[in-house]
Chains A and B, each alone.
Chain A
Amino acid sequence: GAVVSQHPSRVICKSGTSVKIECRSLDFQATTMFWYRQFPKQSLMLMATSNEGSKATYEQGVEKDKFLINHASLTLSTLTVTSAHPEDSSFYICSARNRPPVAGYTFGSGTRLTVV
């Protein structure tokens, strides 16, 4: 089945630094990937839609200069949290839509970001 690999699973960084999270589709090509943010015991909130070869589409309220998304190939999308602050600490998850006839979307295992 479809597999989405997300790295790192956990990262701790200092305030003011940048962190890059990678999301790879291992056995299929994903022209579109999605990035979500999840706070403890809460639902997933879509941050942006990552389109291969073009600019990402950000949801309302998400700072595009803060959360840089690059989708340079059909199997790799990256999310870079720039100038991180403690309030950016969260669980970030990527996903890609499965190719028919497989239904639904495949999610990465998530990245726990802690900014200290």
Chain B
Amino acid sequence: SQQGEEDPQALSIQEGENATMNCSYKTSINNLQWYRQNSGRGLVHLILIRSNEREKHSGRLRVTLDTSKKSSSLLITASRAADTASYFCATVLPTGTASKLTFGTGTRLQVML
């Protein structure tokens, strides 16, 4: 299965600290995306990084991609209580017309006041 593994499974930090989540996958990809899910809700797209990119920033988010290690990381800087959610990486394979997403196992982040 292409499904990625994320670690840690759960992360609890204090507000203001940085949170780092890691994602590993198994096969070649076209791009990797990160999503956020609040409890009982749908997913929100955060950032997309293509296979030929190594790092990308968006606000307080920083994503890295290492295709040689088949891994990615998501860094949230200066975390806030509102960042509490589950975070998923998702990969898109390089071939095929459906461009379907395959999700990682997710990291549950709790940011405490």
Pick the residue among B43, B88, B102 that contacts A95 (CB under 8 A): B43
Q: Mark B72-108, 1 if CB is under 8 A from A, else 0.
A: 0000000000000000100000000011111111101
Given contacts A43-B103, A43-B106, whether A107 and B43 have CB atoms under 8 Å apart is yes
How far in angstroms is the closest Cβ of chain B from A35? 11
How far in angstroms is the closest Cβ of chain A from B56? 10
| Interchain residue pairs with CB less than 8 A apart (28) | A4-B42, A32-B99, A34-B100, A43-B104, A43-B105, A43-B106, A44-B43, A45-B103, A46-B100, A46-B102, A57-B98, A93-B43, A95-B42, A95-B101, A97-B99, A98-B45, A103-B33, A103-B45, A103-B48, A104-B35, A104-B45, A104-B48, A105-B33, A105-B101, A106-B45, A108-B42, A110-B40, A110-B42
Q: Mark A74-116, 1 if CB is under 8 A from B, else 0.
A: 0000000000000000010101011000011111111010000
Q: In the docked arrangement, what's the CA distance between A24 and B43, Å?
A: 16
Residues of A within 8 A of B41 (CB): 109-110
Number of residue pairs A-B, CB distance < 8 angstroms = 58
Q: Is A49 an interface residue (CB 8 A)?
A: yes
Residues of B within 8 A of A36 (CB): 103
Instruction: Name B's interface SS.
Output: strand
With an 8 Å Cβ cutoff, the count of chain B residues facing the other chain is 22
Q: In the docked arrangement, what's the CA distance between A109 and B106, Å?
A: 18
Q: Which residues of B are at the interface with A, using a C-beta cutoff of 8 A?
A: 3, 33, 35, 40-45, 47-48, 88, 98-106, 108
